[in-house]
């Protein structure tokens, strides 16, 4: 298919990609097929993730033959109460055909009063289930999902409390192995097919507490899929999300706005991490070490990797505590400028949507009225032009992805920030149009109130 397009040289990086034209064409065919089955429409309208994998037979690949390229299709979880049906690849393990699983699940459901026994047997059944999921990688090796997670957490430096807890208990999120990407790759490797490119997209309405857009391609989820795909894609040469040259450009793009003995204020470019992460992406720490030849680094607050703008870094522990206390006491004032994908009709307002992490798909956040943390944002429209709204955000709190969620969520402005790969409709080709443009705080040690500004680059 798509004879006018050349095959990709490297396989899709499932966590950061621009869908290949073949993937987009195959997705359209899958959607046409889904729309043709009347009995599925109500379920699909509630929202579900689908995926396609472009493949070619291994022997044809070895002969450097470009013909006979076709696609595999998958859905996440179940569709119409089934997990194995024509047109789509089968599950990695079909629990619907397991007599033991069905009988044990019935026993557990009958334990209405024995809560602790019910919990223990549920966990044991879950562990048993993940021992049955045998995943194959490109080299022909096989491992159970249980073993994959144990090896993954043992091999990686864990930097978050949640990941450490998962590693200690080898906790595997419910539904692991039922996403599209693992199912597609499993079928390809079992049938000796060469994976060329892949994509997963959302079809239907967005879940109430999350942000998904119909027809938009999304990266594979982290907590469920990253350990599995790290194993399954061994032996596959993938696209890289960033190069060393790009990292150097980002570090060089940092601009000093104010520099004192106690702290420095910089204008951070989009794409640079505020603090070192779990990848090799460059961070502000790399810039700080190269400029001041100091290894001790005190970031007073943070900006998302894709957000640009004003960031304060303390140079010593005393300054760090004094500056951070201002954030804790909410005496720091901040303004962000953003471009929203859509025309917001109201001129100004306040958004209050409590947020918490989506533990199954970090770093995404979700609205949770019961367990979420208070998140409040004032906003006003600055300009409307050709379907794009320019706004100013004045956050009262500083939750992770607060402005991005408040912009995109249906109970917020229902207009995602342009270039938002997590909550919006954009892809890799467009930067996140969110910029920290002003900060006002008390200087140390003078106590003088100062205001620092930076013009948005969009």
Cis geometry, peptide bond prior to residue 173 (ω within 30 degrees of 0): no
Do 350 and 411 form a contact (C-beta atoms < 8 A)?
A: no
| H or E element in which residue 394 lies | strand 388-395
Measured CA to CA, the distance from residue 453 to residue 94 in angstroms comes to: 57
Do 410 and 402 form a contact (C-beta atoms < 8 A)?
A: no
φ/ψ of residue 377, rounded to 5: -140, 125
Distances (CA, A) of 288 to 32, 316, 365, 441: 52, 13, 29, 21
- Give every CB contact of residue 172 below 8 A, 6+ residues apart in sequence: 126, 130, 145, 146, 149
DSSP 8-state class, residue 275 = S
Measured CA to CA, the distance from residue 12 to residue 237 in angstroms comes to: 9
Q: How far is CA 453 from the centre of its chain?
A: 30
Question: Per DSSP, which regions of 91-218 are E strands?
Answer: 134-136, 142-144, 193-203, 217-218
Pairing of strands 70-75, 48-57: antiparallel
Residues facing residue 195 across a β-bridge? 55
Measured CA to CA, the distance from residue 415 to residue 422 in angstroms comes to: 13
Place of tokens 């009063």: 113
Measured CA to CA, the distance from residue 427 to residue 192 in angstroms comes to: 31
Q: At what angle do helices 222-232 and 145-155 cross, to 10 degrees?
A: 90
Measured CA to CA, the distance from residue 148 to residue 185 in angstroms comes to: 15
Measured CA to CA, the distance from residue 314 to residue 123 in angstroms comes to: 46
φ/ψ of residue 127, rounded to 5: -65, -45
Closest C-alpha among 56, 54, 60, 46 to residue 74: 54
Do 98 and 130 form a contact (C-beta atoms < 8 A)?
A: no
Q: Which residues are catalytic?
A: 304
DSSP states of 31-69 as a string?
HHHHHT-GGGHHHHHT-EEEEEEEEEEHHHHHTT-----
Measured CA to CA, the distance from residue 198 to residue 16 in angstroms comes to: 11
């Amino acid at each position: 298919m798509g004879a006018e397009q050349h095959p990709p040289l490297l396989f899709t990086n499932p966590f950061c990609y621009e869908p290949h034209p073949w993937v987009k064409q195959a997705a359209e065919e899958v959607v046409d097929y889904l729309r043709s089955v009347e009995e599925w429409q109500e379920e699909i309208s509630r929202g579900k993730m689908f995926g396609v994998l472009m493949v070619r037979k291994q022997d044809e690949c070895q002969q450097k033959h470009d013909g006979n390229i076709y696609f595999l299709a998958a859905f996440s979880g179940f569709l119409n109460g089934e997990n194995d049906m024509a047109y789509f690849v089968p599950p990695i393990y079909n629990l619907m055909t397991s007599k033991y699983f069905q009988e044990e699940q019935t026993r557990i459901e009958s334990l209405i009063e024995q809560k602790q026994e019910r919990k223990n047997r549920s966990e044991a059944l879950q562990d048993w289930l993940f021992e049955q999921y045998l995943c194959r990688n490109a080299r022909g090796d096989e491992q159970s999902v249980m073993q994959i997670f144990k090896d993954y957490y043992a091999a990686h430096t864990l930097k978050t409390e949640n990941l450490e807890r998962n590693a200690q208990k080898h906790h595997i999120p419910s539904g692991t192995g039922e996403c599209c990407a693992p199912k597609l790759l499993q079928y390809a490797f079992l049938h000796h097919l060469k994976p060329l490119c892949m994509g997963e997209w959302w079809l239907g309405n967005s879940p109430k507490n999350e942000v998904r857009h119909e027809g938009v391609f999304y990266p594979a989820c982290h907590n469920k899929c990253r350990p599995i795909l790290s194993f399954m894609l061994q032996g596959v040469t993938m696209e890289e999300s960033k190069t060393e040259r790009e990292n150097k450009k980002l570090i060089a793009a940092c601009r000093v706005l104010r520099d004192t003995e106690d702290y420095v204020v910089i204008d951070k470019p989009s794409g640079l991490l505020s603090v070192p992460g779990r990848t090799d992406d460059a961070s502000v720490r790399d810039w700080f070490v190269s400029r001041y030849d100091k290894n001790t680094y005190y970031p007073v607050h943070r900006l998302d990797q894709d957000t640009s703008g004003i960031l304060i870094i303390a140079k010593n522990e005393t300054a760090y505590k004094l500056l951070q206390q201002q954030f804790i006491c909410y005496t720091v004032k901040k303004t962000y400028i953003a471009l929203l994908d859509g025309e917001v009709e109201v001129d100004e307002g306040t958004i209050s949507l409590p947020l918490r992490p989506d533990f199954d798909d970090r770093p995404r956040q979700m609205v949770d009225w019961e367990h979420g943390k208070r998140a409040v944002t004032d906003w006003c429209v600055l300009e409307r032009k050709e379907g794009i709204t320019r706004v100013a955000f004045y956050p009262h709190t500083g939750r992770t992805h607060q402005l991005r969620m408040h912009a995109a969520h249906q109970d917020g402005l229902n207009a995602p920030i342009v270039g938002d790969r997590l909550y919006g409709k954009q892809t890799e080709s467009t930067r996140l149009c969110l910029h920290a443009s002003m900060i006002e705080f008390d200087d140390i040690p003078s106590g003088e109130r100062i205001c620092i500004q930076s013009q948005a680059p969009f």
